[in-house]
Structure formats: structure tokens, C-alpha cells
Amino acid sequence: MAEVVGGLFTSHVPAIGGAIARGAQNDPYWKPFFDGYAPVREWLAEVKPTVAVVFYNDHGLNFFLDCMPTFAIGAAPSYANDDEGWGLQRFPTQAGAPELSWAVIEQLVESGFDPATCQSLKIDHAVTIPLALAWPEGTPAGLRIVPIAINTVQHPLPSAARCLALGRAVGEALASFAGDERIVVMGTGGLSHQLDGERAGFINPDYDRFCLDHLPADPDALTRHSVHEIVELAGTQGVEILNWIAARGALGATAHELSRTYHVPISNTAAAVMLLETEAARAGGKAEARSEAALA
């Protein structure tokens, strides 16, 4: 059966892509942020995931205010990156995992969700930058992705509880999939930030640390706030924490924290990196991956 080995939670600020393009990872402004990925890359090299399920929010590359699904799942054989107007370098087209995508979609519908199903979908910086941070030399040959977009832009937004339930239903589908995939789940965006309006530049370290402290062992704590309260606590764009909450749900009941970094600010954003490992991976999956790596 497929195995979910862990989760990576990361900011996806477009400026990160510019820093990568300039080779600015060791500049004083950027180094504390990029240093947080050293343990992530070491762990990925050990577990060698074959699929990345990415919970993110689309920034107008596919959906805009006139057509904004609450949840949308890619079921395409491949996903191309396109120009978003940020001046970022184009990211290579990523292979999809349509059979796994459809298994997730079917499980979600059976669980009472009604996602949009996208057999053609482009990926924006909310997917490409986390992939570039995790694999700076390029994603490994054979890695496939399943992108899951959550509306964090056009109200009404889904509640934190609904996103956690969505993630848990996705996790059930992944765990029951009859394949040998090793799956890493990604939650991207945030943390607290607001880019416009009267509170432009708003950052709330107390709420960010509340999220980081509770996400591994008590994700339900993050559902105690309504969406409007989250916007108040985290900022208009900080509501991207919904992506993290959904991704955490997909990891199952128990997840062990392996590393975290919190850095303020990165382009007016509270930037964070967190790595969690599932109970199944801790019990035996990593050992098996190491054995396979030794034989390779």
C-alpha cells in the first residue's frame, strides 16, 4: 500500500524565487530562512518520496474572482508553470499522478466534499517555490505531484475545521491507495502577513507560534478560530494557514516534529519551515528507504 511518510510546511513568497535566481541564499537577509531547509533536504534524501501532494492556494493563474472553487484537485498527467507577472523564472513541467488524484477525488466525494476536478491545471509559485526549496537541484526523476488548491481569496472561505476534515479525508485516500508510492504532503503559504489595506505589513508572531506549537500534536486547536478571526489574527493573506491545516490533516492522528524555523520578515511576511514525520515512517518506512538507498 502507499505510505505517507511526512509533511513539509513552508512559506511560498514570490520573493523567495527571486532570491534563488540571484543566488542570494547566503545573504544576511535570506540566510536564516534558507538554512531551515538543510534538515528538510537531508530527510527527503533518506525517505525518497515518489509523490508530493501539495495543498496550496492559486494566485490567479487558473482561478480568479469570477470563478473560484472552494477546493480544486489536479487530475492531470502533467502540470506546467506559467508567467504570473512576478518576473520569476519558469519552473519545469512536473509529472502528475492521475490515478492517485482520482482515488483522492473519489474518496472526497464519498466523504461529502465536492471538489472541482481539473484535468488541465497550471501550477504557480505556491507550488513551484516549495518544490525548489525542497529540491534545489531540481525535483528527482520520477517524482509526481498531486496539487490541491484551497480558496483563500474570495469570501466565503472554507473554515479551518472544514480544511482539516478535507485533509483527513485525503489522508484516508492516500493510505488506502493500492500502490507502492512514498508520499510527502506539503502545506504552503503564510504565515501571518497582509499585503494591502490599512494593515499592510501586519505580522503577528504570537499567532504564528501558536500555529507552529499546535500543528504537530493538536491541529484541532487551530480550528477554534473562525475564518474571520484568522484574518484578524494572521492578516488577509495570512489566512493561507488553511493550506497548512489541511496538509496536517492528511498526515494522520500522530505526527512527530523533526525541525522548524521561524523568521521575520521575508518580504513583509512571517516565514516559517516545519518538517513533520508520520508514525508509520518513524516505525519502519525510513529504515526501508535507507535500505533501498544503500542498494541503489
**Annotated catalytic, 125?**
no
**Annotated catalytic, 240?**
yes
Catalytic residue among 3, 125, 193, 277: 193
**Annotated catalytic, 193?**
yes
Catalytic residue among 12, 125, 225, 263: 12
- Taken as a whole, the chain contains a residue count of 296
- Taking the C-alpha atoms of residue 33 and residue 18, their distance in angstroms, rounded to an integer, is 14
- Taking the C-alpha atoms of residue 178 and residue 127, their distance in angstroms, rounded to an integer, is 26
- Taking the C-alpha atoms of residue 9 and residue 272, their distance in angstroms, rounded to an integer, is 8
Q: How many CB atoms lie within 10 A of CB 8?
A: 25
Catalytic residue among 3, 172, 240, 277: 240
**Annotated catalytic, 228?**
no
Catalytic residue among 59, 125, 225, 263: 59
Catalytic residue numbers read 12, 59, 193, 240
